[in-house]
Structure 1
Amino acid sequence: MRTPARASTTTTVAVTLLCGLTLALAYLNKARCAGEPFDALGRSLIFDRIKDSSVCYSDIQFLWIGRDIDHHVFPYLSGGITDTGALTGGTVEYPVLSGLLMWLSAVGAHTDAAFLLHSALILTPFGLATAWMLGRLAGWPALLWSVGPPLVLYAFHNWELPVVAAATAAVFVVAAGDRMSLRTRAVLAAVLLGIGFCLKIYPGAFVLPLMAYVFTGGAGGRELPATARGRYDPVGALAVAGAATATVVAINLPFAALGWRGWVASFAFQSDRQADITTNSVWYWGVRHWFGPDEGPGSDYARVVAAASPLLIVAAFALAVWIGWRRYRRDGSYPWLAVSAAMLCGFLLLHKVHSPQYTLWLIPFFVLLRVPWTLVGAYLLADLCLGVGVFRYFAALGSGADASTEEAIVLAGVWGRAALLVAFFVLFLRSRPRTAGADGRSDGAADRAPRPG
């Protein structure tokens, strides 16, 4: 098997150092909303006054109050959810590893400013690790991650950096070449994807195309083990599924056993969440207009979204996997990375919640797969319209001012991203991985050769 080219150490170090500078800027951007004076709960008084108008809002600072994080309650074990959908007893609306990171960030913090700082210190290594891995795999194109606007806007908006690092690490391990067998690399990658699932769910979807990649023998079908009979490796594919499943069970089982109500409550909260003005989805800005004014729980609109969104996501996943299989039949390699990227596009487009920070999930695929830079730039522009415009929109609504201009910017962001996600769904499924030569530049010759992804 041909081992993918790697970027030089100089390129990788430069990409990582520049990422560090961007992360410092990202923290300073969010820290504008934090600081003395504080109220009795440790909330910065400036937060509610400027968080939207100055676009320094973060979920990290917001969630200091309302989830018992400020009381340092260990998450899930004593929690639950009320009939009105409010979480109690330290339960947070994220999978357990994200909840643990939130709890750990609160250790020693007694204000939202300290919580934001601690969170940034814990999250930063994950952002740097992602930069290093992308730099090694793709060279200078990794600057899109390291110095792009999304990292400034969203690095410390929520707890996204660990899950992006986990998903990127899975790709990195699979691309490790012939130093380990495909089965070994894929099982390690499945463990990383399982960890990612326990952080923010979405990497779990990538296990299916990874299984298909192992099932078909990797690059050009040349990595089938000696024990495999015929053209396929069903044992390897099942090992991938088993490793991912065992990882998820091992991480979640202690919480489910010791605090079932609190553990289940985190999933119930997300399941019951409505596609409202805070979700930035095509459901709210498009489908909602086909129904009457009632958009609350139990309305026709809410029922349609609750049923249609997951069904369409599954359909998008199935379509991506099927197109990947057709490409395998034509080219001899199952494009697991390209299929994973397309699946993510389908999820972002069709999920009832499309938070701005989800753009960080997509950036590594822009780096690792050869798609037009003009369209990547267009996506970043649409994302900037939403990432900035939505908070200015909330500020205008809250002040009672005319919000028509801000709403137009939000709509440009929502529909611009939606149209480009459709385009990228198609383009990803036709793309080849981007690799780097020793000078850090994209290696076009390598892109024409069969290899993982």
Structure 2
Amino acid sequence: MTGRSTGDEFESRVHPTQDDSVVAAVSESVGGPMGRHAAPHRFWSPVRVLLLLTALCFAVGLVQKAPCANSLWQDGAENYNNMCYSDLPPLYYGRGLADGHWPYTDDPVVRAQFDVMEYPVGISYWAWATAKVTRAIAPDDGTRDVAKEARLYTAVNAVGFALLALLATWFLAGVTRRRPWDAAGFAIAPTLALTALINWDLLAVTLVAAALWTWSRDRPVLTGVLIGLGTATKLYPLFLLGGILVICLRRLRRVDGNGDTEESDPVFDFGAVAGSAAVAWLLANAPAYISGPAEWKVFWTFNSGRGADLGSIWLVLQQVFDHPMQPELINKVSWLFFGAWCVGVLLIGLKAPATPRLAQLGFLVVAGFLLINKVYSPQYVLWLLPLAALARPRWRDLLIWQTGEIVYFAAVWLYLGDYLAPAGGGDAGFYSIATLLRIATELYLVAIVARDVLRQPLAENDAPASVSKPVPPVSRS
């Protein structure tokens, strides 16, 4: 994917002002939809515009975090008042990163002083490496202020996150050649600005975007490597394998049913993706496991023993019925529900009139996981963002979903700051309402994407179908 566009590429490209009613309406303030006689700009290609928009969106997010940065994230009330909390500063000095300790060391002195990183190895490696960079560039004036150093650590990570966001946009813009503007759903998403700096989730998000790109380029081995590395960073990229399985089953059924030959063998493709993903995951985990097996297991034991937590339907039920729920029960019901959900996605994918796109299937599977997960941290919206942008590139539906996420984002900080606690005590009902609203808007987008899959008569990797009528092109002089 190059920066400049040829005339043929420009002619075949779907422009959002002619394809999306919301964008068309907004474009009236700057001259209206693109006309029939429009020509490509010499410099401002869609990809370059999208990268600029991503940079501006990320910059807005940094400004939103400025109040906490000014107070070095030391004022808990201000963190919640300004909704600018980040996990990075407390984990920098709370997990031994500030002292340069390897996250998976089994040194008893270190382990007695610091808790083990409760994240997959990809995040731990990045957190450790950026801590090394921070220590290398921190001013050495004879006195050490760890709080200020933690702010520098956050800034170092912010630079890396900005590059990751730009890279993710670049990949997403190239997944469907005729529709680079679909990546705008990621590039200028309000939730990208609000949540990018809370934790290290952008690492996995970028790997997912890259996997979508490589799959669209028929590179199964590289797709598997990216999925494996993504799974070593966050668990959810593993669920892309479910979408790839559906696509390969459809291709296999088409070959067996019609005797047609394919450019690639669907059995080989799925085996290549799954096999390379397993190898990449094992290699990524090897350094952590070899250096500290017990420390490596903390992520898995921490999550299995976790109870109903922030943002989950389980916490809502627990508060409504005023009865604690055991982690073992939540684990069993969650996995049963998720298994049934995956079977449903499989059936939808096989029943569809045309092969669904990986972004659609991936969105449906990951959404099911988040709906029933034991915790929904505010930044988890990033998991769905690149998938949703490509699965349903319609701004009306994306904004409905984003509105629910933004309401929840605000509510969770007000809840943690005890601003929602009723005067008579008890649980905050508004927080439960905000959680249910987020779930409802997510289910709305799930329903829309599922409907698209079942209705769209399109070839794989072609333009997404729209149930609304396309906006007619308007000739502009």
Asked if TM exceeds 0.5, the reply is yes
Q: Is the 8 A contact 2:211 2:226 kept in 1?
A: yes
1:394 to 388, 413, 416: 416
Task: Work out whether 1:122 is the aligned partner of 2:122.
Answer: no
- Residue in structure 2 matched with residue 112 of structure 1 by the alignment: 150
For 2:238, the equivalent position in structure 1 comes to 204
Answering whether residue 170 of structure 2 is matched by residue 132 of structure 1, we say yes
Q: Once the 2 structures are TM-superposed, how far is the Cα of residue 238 of structure 1 from its aligned partner?
A: 1.8
After superposition, the Cα gap between the structure-2 partners of 1:198 and 1:167, relative to the gap in structure 1 and judged at 3 Å, is same
Shift in Å at residue 49 of structure 1? 3.7
Aligned to 1:143: 184
What residue is the counterpart of 1:40 in the other structure? Answer: none
Quote the sequence identity (%).
Answer: 23
Question: What are the equivalent positions in structure 2 for 1:426-445 lying under 5 Å apart?
Answer: 426-431=447-452
Judged with a 3 Å threshold, the aligned counterparts in structure 2 of structure 1 residues 14 and 45 are, in CA distance, closer, same or farther, namely: closer
Partner of 1:323: 348
CA shift for structure 1 position 15: 1.0
State the distance in 1 between where 2:404 and 2:242 align.
30
Aligned positions of 1:80-95 closer than 5 A: 89=114, 91-95=116-120
Of the three residues 198, 217, 225, the one matched with 1:157 is 198
Label 1:12 to 1:64 Cα distance change in 2 as closer, same or farther (>3 A): same
Q: Distance in 2 between matches of 1:79 and 1:90?
A: 12
* Post-superposition offset of 1:168: 0.9
2:168 and 2:206 in contact (8 A); partners too: yes
Contact map agreement 1:89 1:262 (CA 8 A) in 2: no
Deviation per residue, 1:204-256 (Å, 9 max, x gap): 11113213323443897677347x5xxxx323322221111111111112221
Contact 2:92-2:98 within 8 A present in 1 as well = yes
Match of 1:60 in 2: 88
The letter for the 1-side match of 2:359 is: L
Q: What is aligned with 1:101?
A: 126
Among 221, 229, 233, the alignment partner of 1:195 is 229
Match of 1:245 among 278, 289, 298: 278
The 1:175/1:393 distance shift into structure 2, 3 A limit, reads same
| Alignment correspondent of 2:443 | 422
Counterpart amino acid of 2:193? Answer: V
Amino acid at match of 2:47: T
Change (3 A) 1:254 1:64: closer
Distance of 2:107 and 2:365 partners within structure 1: 33
Deviation at 1:340, TM superposition (A): 1.3
Give SS of 1:377's match.
Answer: helix
Please say if 1:377 is aligned against 2:399. yes
Q: What do the CA deviations read for 1:119-155 (whole angstroms, capped 9, x no partner)? A: 1112211101112222334433432322221011101
Shift of 1:194: 0.9
Deviations 1:55-85 (CA, angstroms, capped at 9, x unpaired) = 11111123223211222211113279xxxxx
Backbone CA RMSD of aligned residues: 3.2
Q: Cα distance 1:401–1:45, how it changes in 2: closer, same or farther (>3 A)? A: farther
Please tell me whether the aligned partners of residues 397 and 403 of structure 1 are also in contact (alpha carbons under 8 angstroms): no
Q: Is the 8 A contact 1:166 1:192 kept in 2?
A: yes
- 1:397 deviates by 4.9
Change (3 A) 1:20 1:45: closer
Where do 5+ consecutive residues of structure 2 fail to align? 1-8, 15-39, 136-145, 463-477
Matched, 1:284 2:315: yes
TM-score, scaled relative to structure 1: 0.80
Structure 1 residue 336 displacement after superposition: 3.4
> Partners in 1 of 2:457 and 2:112 — Cα distance?
51
Paired amino acid for 1:244: A
1:412 is aligned with what amino acid? Answer: I
- Change beyond 3 A, Cα 1:67–1:223: farther
Q: 1:283 to 1:45 in 2, by over 3 A?
A: closer
Cα distance in 1 for residues equivalent to 2:405 and 2:200: 18
How many residues of Structure 1 are paired with residues of Structure 2 in the alignment?
403
Distance 1:247 1:309, change over 3 A: same
Residue identity in the other structure for 1:175: S
Q: TM-score, normalised by structure 2?
A: 0.76
Mapped contact 1:309–1:351 kept (Cα < 8 A):
yes
SS in 2 for 1:52: helix
Distance 2:91 2:121 in 1: 16
- Tell me, which stretches of 5 or more residues in structure 1 are unaligned? 37-43, 81-85, 177-181, 434-446
Measure how far apart 1:259 and its partner are: 1.0
Give the corresponding residue for 1:26. 61
Shift in Å at residue 395 of structure 1?
1.7
- Conserved in 2, the CA contact under 8 Å of 1:73 and 1:90? no
Aligned to 2:34: none
CA contact (8 A) 1:69 1:103 kept: yes
